Structure 1
Amino acid sequence: MPAPPLDATLLPRPTKARTRSGQFTFTADTRVRVGEGAEDAARLLRTLLAPATGLPLHPADDGAVVLALDPDLTGLGTEGYGLTVGPHSVLLRAARLTGLLRGVQTIRQLLPVQALARAPGRGVRWTLPCAEITDVPRHPWRGAMLDVARHFQPVEYLRRYVDLLALHKINVFHLHLTDDQGWRMPVTAYPKLTEIGGHRTRSMTGPTGDVYDGTAHGGAYTRAELAGLVEYASALGVTVVPEIEMPGHVRAALAAYPRLGNAPDRALEVWTRWGVCDTVLGVHDEVLDFCRTVLEEVMELFPSPYLHVGGDECPLTEWERSPLARARIAAEGLHGPADLHRWFLARIGDFLVRNGRRPVGWAETGTELPDGFTVMAWRDPAHALAAARRGHDVINAHHRATYLDHPQSADPREPPGQPGAVVALRDVHGHDPVPAGATSDVAARVLGTQAQLWTEFAATPERLEYLTYPRLCALADRGWSGPTEWGDFRSRLDLHTARLDALEVRRHP
């Protein structure tokens, strides 16, 4: 049986691919010629291939494998690459280092599947099919969010998570670090955030009702662990975007520092329920100072140009009753408590912009975030369209297509998940980041898409991977390749699952 066309074996599907006759075979004598600025790509190639292949891939001026940066290849942008494989040589070129890193992942997929295994492959010929590939992503933002606030995950697993993102050319790891149920990032100026806010006494065991497990849960990262994660992800071409929630979803912070709330003498515990808590930050000056201090430490650890500050699901109940909130409304000439939300986020956004960062916020309507915010629209594609029409950059994260904590099918044997709609593999694949009705200038403001994995019902790495894969493969394909036929994607996914299995991904069948 003839081998399938080259572009029918890769995921995401490359922009252009042409198979040629013949093969290139890696041997122990294969050397790599590393152009100026391509050293990190050569290091990644060796690091990824060595465990299974044992190939040393030593550098040499006359190496048969060539990694080269050429800034004149402007059509490839920041992530595109060109790969030419002949019987006696391999040439990988890009305008930027990130493009070379993406091309290394393609080489990895083109090799026999045993190249992805953790253990050495015996008796395997490490061959690449001869080919010409030119590959440029459709969207610049292809993200995956992991919530470690509800259920803490060790940093070793976060590194594995990043490894799998890079394989699929996902370029943003959105790390949700704080919420009502836990605060995971240390802040030197406020040590109780993790000492108290990083621990809860129990957790709900279902989406509704007062049923709890009676088991304490906690955890926090060290600054060194987070800095190391950022460095590790950068070497794979993945940017870690941190999220620090405000002014809602802050019960863990208020358990540590009650004076930041709207009833400063109240004693609170880290929230043990799921859902939306009505305990929110106050709007007095000390709170704004707290937020700026926290964000200064976040910026020290995370060089990402984007920084997520949450912003959604902020009940107004406490502000309606608070004398300090009413005083702020009068002092700022606002119309009422509803205006405080936009006023608060505008102050935070301005602070980040002055520090050279781009604030990102969740949007419930598409029109509530201040100017300068990148909008992450999750409720409805119409909200993404509204935000882009207002001039915001937009990430379309529609929950009916990107929330991976929802069940993957209606099969009663599926493990518990968020109540509500099923988010099936085909739903993820069919989600176009550019909403219907977008003109060309509006579509240009849609940066891309992102998957979300909230972890109320996913406490372990095994469950996380079961929920993530293969659905994230569909999002990666759509975000990089643009629209592809469902049958084409499924046939490529059927081949790709062998790679997931070689990597021991505990996936949905």
Structure 2
Amino acid sequence: MPGHFTFDSSTTVRAEGGAQGAAKLLRTLLAPATGLPLPTSTTGTVVIVLDPYLRGLGTEGYGLTIAPNAVLLRAARPAGLLNGVQTIRQLLPAEALSPRPVAGVPWRMPCGQITDVPRYRWRGAMLDVARHFQPVSFLRRFTDLLALHKMNTLHLHLTDDQGWRMPVSAYPRLTEVGGVRSRTLLGPADSDQYDDTPHAGAYTAGQLRGLVAYAAERGVTVVPEIEMPGHARAALAAYPELGNVPGRQLDVWTRWGVCENVLGVHDGVLEFCRTVLGEVMDVFPSPYVHIGGDECPATEWESSPVALRRTAELGLAAPKALHGWFLGRIGAFLLAAGRRPLCWAEDSGALPPDFTVMPWRDTEHGLAAARRGHDVVMAPYRSTYLDYPQSDDPGEPLGQQGVVDLPAAHRGGAPTGWEPESAARVLGTQGQLWSEFIRTPEEIEYLAFPRLAALADRAWNPASEWSTDFLPALRVHETRLTALGVAHRATPPRRGVPVPGTTPH
């Protein structure tokens, strides 16, 4: 369809069938750069319609028709309309994404017709705010960046050995003590150098509730993660009675890696976990609650009289089997509360059957979990761990040993070659930003982009081809990242590659 539609001072918006949220988002996102009010009108030139009979579009699909004198955005569910709003932003000049007024730009987009439905329903990013705390203002900005790429999940890693960031009114020392690390390791896990500067930070329940609401307005669900029974030293520093050695006082861990100090298995620990998760669920309405679950050494259980007694009472073969028992008890509590338990899977061993799993070591572990009947969110570190350097260039920021380059990130969004029954268990994929070596928002953005755009592209459309689909689109998309002020690794220009006016999701 030839021609363009132009947003100008005469453009009005009509929202039908409960589409007011999408209309509000459109105004909110376009106002900073364009200054256009886009008022409501019964004869609007931009019509946004929520129509539940458009079942073929599913939960998140949308239809967008652009003519020279009108725009029609339709979807069966609100999430689809929100995705369509992001496409309108992408079709406008890149300056439309600027946070400041831009003059002299015609706010026009090409005419055409789009029907767009995502392949996967989980398209997300995990942000580790436990090891290095990030302000709520950045979490909102990061949410906006996810929404622009039509990613629908922000997974917040709120607790770990090195810090506890989630407020729990029943256990105030979790943030008062567990939220403060005396110093931070410099360099890799085997380093012996520290900055000797305390690192602290914790959110309020109000801040987190505000983030949840902000994200929901943009079609993003915030999934909380509270680590257990391992990666729990910050909790043990705050409440020593949760551990396996009576009377022992630990500090919040200042090293990286896997700590052998884990939660005990006595009844008081289970009550603690239920209370904490109860408050978490009050703040986060997400259908999923992540409880970590991996990298849990059994060393302390093997010498704990309480753990040995529990092992014998349950008829378990060895104390390490308490791990599955512990997860099962916590999972049952979440299920009874109407939530779905989620955990990391570091091997192909059995987990409680009702868990959704995130296999991170190997794609084959994901296949094994799917064959056992688990729903799976793919998170293999070789393609989704964005804290790894993007190249072996000596100027890259310090990270884990190895490289996850842009092609690897694009390949990693979707498994291939699985039998249909197992492939149907894949909910989607997400990128991981662990923060041992990431301190600032600028560092997060640089490591996330453009690799997160590559993951988003494959999570929406696994058939996207690297050289003919994604890479040419990325060269256009980089102008948007620049307009937003996003620190990112630039993609070198390639001769002879056409640059269509499309964008990665």
Q: What TM-score results when the alignment is normalised by the length of structure 1? A: 0.95
Indicate whether 1:72 and 2:53 are aligned.
yes
SS at match of 2:328: helix
Q: Secondary structure at the match of 1:450?
A: strand
TM-superposed CA distance for 1:435, in Å, is 4.5
**Counterpart-to-counterpart distance in 1, 2:323 and 2:104:** 63
Aligned counterpart for 1:440 among listed residues 420, 427, 430:
420
Shift in Å at residue 27 of structure 1? 1.2
Counterpart of 1:224, as a letter, is G
CA contact under 8 A between 2:57 and 2:117: conserved in structure 1?
yes
Q: Provide, for residues 33-63 of structure 1, a one-character-per-residue CA deviation record: whole Å limited to 9, x for no partner.
A: 1102100000000000000001111011110
SS in 2 for 1:21: coil
Residue 332 of structure 1, CA deviation: 1.2
Q: Work out whether residues 405 and 452 of structure 1, in 8 Å CA contact, stay in contact via their aligned partners in 2.
A: yes
Equivalent pair of 2:413/2:430 in contact (CA under 8 Å) = no
Residue 425 (str. 1) matches residue 421 (str. 2):
no
Cα deviation for residue 418 of structure 1 reads 1.1
**Separation of aligned partners in 2, 1:30 and 1:209:** 59
Output the CA distance in 1 between the equivalents of 2:80 and 2:274: 35
> Separation in 2 of the partners of 1:467 and 1:206?
17
Q: Which residue is equivalent to 2:307?
A: 325
Matched, 1:405 2:396: no
Contact map agreement 1:381 1:435 (CA 8 A) in 2? no
Q: Deviations over 1:268-289 (max 9, x none)?
A: 1000001100000000000000
Deviation at 1:128, TM superposition (A): 1.4
- Cross-structure match for 1:336: 318
Query: Which AA in structure 1 matches 2:464?
Result: T
Q: CA offset at residue 250 of structure 1?
A: 0.2
The alignment status of 1:490 with 2:474, answered yes or no, reads: no
In 2, the alpha carbon distance for the partners of 1:245 and 1:122 equals 48
Which structure exhibits the higher relative contact order, with contacts defined as CA atoms closer than 8 Å and separated by 6 or more residues?
1
**Matching residue's letter, 1:416:** L
What is the aligned counterpart of 1:385 among 349, 363, 367?
367
Q: Does the 8 Å contact 2:414/2:462 carry over to 1? A: no
Alignment partner of 1:278 is 2:260: yes
Supply the AA of the counterpart residue of 2:430: Q
Matching residue of 1:450: 430
> Pick from 104, 109, 112: which aligns with 2:85?
104
2:456 equivalent to 1:476:
yes
How far the C-alpha of 1:210 sits from its partner, in A, is: 1.3
SS of residue matched to 2:186: coil
Q: Name the structure 2 match of 1:87.
A: 68
Matched residue SS, 2:193: coil
- Deviation, 1:226, is 0.3
In the TM superposition, structure 1's runs of 4+ consecutive aligned residues that sit over 3 Å from their partners are none
Residue in structure 1 matching 2:353, options 358, 364, 371 = 371
Distance in 2 (alpha carbons) for counterparts of 1:256 and 1:121 = 50
Deviation at 1:66, TM superposition (A): 0.3
Amino acid at match of 1:45: L
Q: In structure 2, how many angstroms separate the alpha carbons of the residues matched to 1:47 and 1:366?
A: 46
Partner of 1:14: none
The root-mean-square deviation of aligned C-alpha atoms, in Å, is 0.8
1:432 positional shift: 4.5
Q: Any conservation in 1 of the 2:17–2:51 contact (CA below 8 Å)?
A: no
In structure 1, C-alpha distance between the alignment counterparts of 2:346 and 2:100, rounded to whole Å? 47
Q: Kindly provide the amino acid, as one letter, of the partner of residue 191 in structure 2.
A: G
User: For 1:432 and 1:101, how far apart are their aligned partners in 2?
Assistant: 22
Distance in 2 separating the partners of 1:264 and 1:461: 40
- The alpha-carbon deviation at position 29 of structure 1 amounts to 1.2
Residue identity matched to 1:480: W
Residues 1:502 and 2:483 aligned together: yes
Unaligned runs of 5+ in 1: 1-19
Counterpart Cα distance in 2 of 1:422 and 1:264 = 43
- In structure 1, the partner of 2:441 is 461
Q: Could you tell me which residue of structure 2 aligns to residue 147 of structure 1?
A: 128
Rounded to whole Å, the distance in 2 between the matches of 1:501 and 1:327 is 60
- Equivalence for 1:361: 343
Aligned to 1:115: 96
- Give yes or no for the alignment of 1:261 onto 2:237: no
List per-residue Cα deviations over 1:263-320 (Å, max 9, x = no partner).
Answer: 1300110000011000000000000000000000000000000000000000010000
Report the residue type matching 1:455 in the other structure.
Answer: S
- Which letter maps to 1:172? T
Three-state SS of the structure 2 residue aligned to 1:508 is coil
Q: Which runs of 5+ in 2 are unaligned?
A: 491-505
Residue correspondence of structure 1 range 194-233 to structure 2 within 5 A: 194-207=175-188, 208-233=190-215
